Amino acid sequence: MPAEKTIALNRRARHEFSIEDTIEAGIVLTGTEIKSIRANKVNLADAYARIDRGEAWLVGAHIAPWDAGNRYNHEPRRDRKLLLHKSQIDELLGKTKSKGLVLIALRLYIDNRGKAKLELGLGKGKQLHDRRRDIAARDAQRQMERDLAEATRR
């Protein structure tokens, strides 16, 4: 079987939010949408999930229209239903209401069976000082790795 293939990453999500938990969800797509996804024409930069009337929805994801599509081509920014179990939806709804967390689309990928899946993250927005602390820690880690590499080269 082929390994899973990452189609789109939301790189800004891990920078602007501290991710506490992740969950995998399927997506309800039309024929032209899955063709565009397989052609890597997806943008998750502004994507998030919302729970509305007991159903989970992906909002703000941009899937480009299929080039060879006809009049049945899809809308690029339409809301798409996410496939989750009722217990998962209830758990996510409880966490978002009580803890003030948000559902962010982290990654869109094709799994081993050829199905499009979305990795959602439960996260809390970072403050400016949190972002600066993360950047400082990352820079310190890089500097230690450089120093270690230089010391082993000698």
How many structural domains compose the chain?
1
Question: Where in the chain does DSSP place strands (E)?
Answer: 5-9, 17-27, 42-43, 48-52, 55-59, 62-63, 80-83, 102-110, 116-125
79-123 pLDDT, tens per residue? Answer: 999 999 999 999 999 888 888 889 999 999 999 998 999 999 999
28 lies in some domain: yes
The domain of 62 spans 5-125
136 lies in some domain: no
137 lies in some domain: no
pTM over 0.85: no
16 lies in some domain: yes
Tens of each residue's pLDDT in the chain, 154 residues: 568 899 999 988 888 888 989 999 999 998 888 989 999 999 999 899 999 998 999 999 999 988 877 777 888 889 999 999 999 999 999 888 888 889 999 999 999 998 999 999 999 887 777 778 888 998 999 999 999 999 988 7
pLDDT number for residue 1: 53
pLDDT number for residue 117: 94
C-alpha span between 62 and 78 (Å, rounded)? 8
Q: For residue 94, give the CATH number of its domain.
A: 2.40.280.10
